[in-house]
Amino acid sequence: MPGITMTAQVTVWYDSECPLCVREIALMRRLDRHGAIEFLDLYTTADCPLDRQLLLERFHARERDGTVVSGAQAFAAMWRALAPLRPLGLIARFPPVLWVLEGLYRLFLLVRPGLQRAVKRLERNAA
């Protein structure tokens, strides 16, 4: 599978221009002590299984078997690849839990633009 390293269990695409995304990916990289996740910046990678705009609108991940998932399923796939978060990722396999997580993710998507602006403002003021 192009773009997947031999040790990567999950490939994650992220928006390097989103301050929230950059912070979350930094945290996931710190937790990923064994290289289980391949993090691909949507602005520099040619490895995009879907339209780049779709990947920017929702969080997407590709599991080792090639399945591309989005939203709460993508977060759960990423969590399962990280030892400290694996229990949460496994719990998210249960449909009622995944349904709740997806609902929360959709709510987050509604407030994301405002949060992005607030974080960018804070970063400018701190500089």
| Residue pLDDT, tens place only, 20-73 | 999 999 999 999 999 999 999 999 988 888 889 999 999 999 999 999 999 999
Q: Which of 3-12, 52-61, 68-77, 84-93 has the lowest mean pLDDT?
A: 3-12
Is it the case that residue 109 has pLDDT exceeding 90?
yes
* Per-residue model confidence (pLDDT) at position 7: 65
Half-sphere exposure of residue 40: CA atoms within 13 angstroms, side-chain side: 24
Is the pLDDT at 97 greater than 60? The verdict is yes
pLDDT of residue 91: 98
Is residue 2 scored above 70 in pLDDT? no
- Cα-based angle 106, 96, 61 (whole degrees, multiple of 5): 50
Percent of the chain with pLDDT over 90: 80
Strands 60-63, 37-41: pairing is: unpaired
What is the DSSP code (8-state) at residue 84? G
Strand order in the sheet with 37-41: 37-41, 10-14, 60-63, 68-70
Report the share of the chain in percent with pLDDT over 70: 94
Half-sphere exposure of 77 (CA within 13 A, CB side): 24
pTM: 0.87
What tokens does 10 get? 């999950």
Q: How far apart (Å, rounded) are the C-alpha atoms in residues 59 and 91?
A: 19
pLDDT at 74 over 90: yes
Quick check: 78 pLDDT over 80?
yes
